[in-house]
Amino acid sequence: MSNIQFAQLSDQVECDPITNIDPKSLLGHWINSNPDTISIARINITEANGKLQLQVFAVGPDGPIDWGTATAEVFAGNPASSTGAGFMCTYDFGFAEARFQAMIMKGLLVLAQFHTFKDDSNRASYFMREYYAMTHEHF
């Protein structure tokens, strides 16, 4: 084994350099499995210019709120894989920041959200974790 650095054995792989992680499994329209969510209702994930793009639609008190698009970083399932298995992404709203860590599990997108407020509202930073299914027209 070469002298590549590792922090755990699973990092210690030798493979052809991976220049691109295929995001195919992440692309599509994802809908929250919880119809009563107070958070994100839908996420559209696309690829544009080789980058993963998210468009988020959240549930607001008076109807849906379009967060617009943000670029996400794609992650594989292991360091020798070129298949996308999840992503990280940040939305900065000025008054608050929402960071995402998402992964595909059993066909669902599991989205962990970390919200931090930067205004003087004294709201606590908080965590949410919800499940999203990819919509399709097979049935």
Partner 1 sequence: MDYKQKSHLHPDLLNPAAANLNPDKLLGRWINTNWETRGIAECIVAREGDDITVSIIGVGEDGPIHWPKALATPLANLEEEAGQRTPAATATFDLGFMRADTHLRINKGVFVIVLFATFLDDSGRANYLNREFFYRHS
69 exposure class (CB count in 10 Å sphere: 0-12, 13-18, 19+): middle
Q: Which two tokens stand for residue 8?
A: 């755990």
What is each CA distance from 84 to 21, 59, 73, 78, 104, in whole angstroms? 6, 28, 10, 10, 9
Q: Which residues pair with 51 in a beta bridge?
A: 48
Contacting residue, 50, 61, 136, 139, with partner 1 by CB under 8 A: 61
Q: Does 49 bind partner 1 (CB under 8 A)?
A: no
> Closest separation between CB of residue 25 and partner 1, Å?
13
User: 49 — phi, psi (to 5°)?
Assistant: 55, 40
Q: Which residue in 43, 58, 89, 111 binds partner 1 (CB under 8 A)?
A: 58
One character per residue 63-92, x = contact with partner 1 (rule: CB under 8 A): --x-x-----xxxxxxxxxx--xx-x--x-
Using CB under 8 A, list all residues that contact partner 1: 4-13, 15-19, 21, 38-40, 58-61, 65, 67, 73-82, 85-86, 88, 91, 93-96, 98-99, 101, 103, 112, 114-116, 119, 121-129, 131
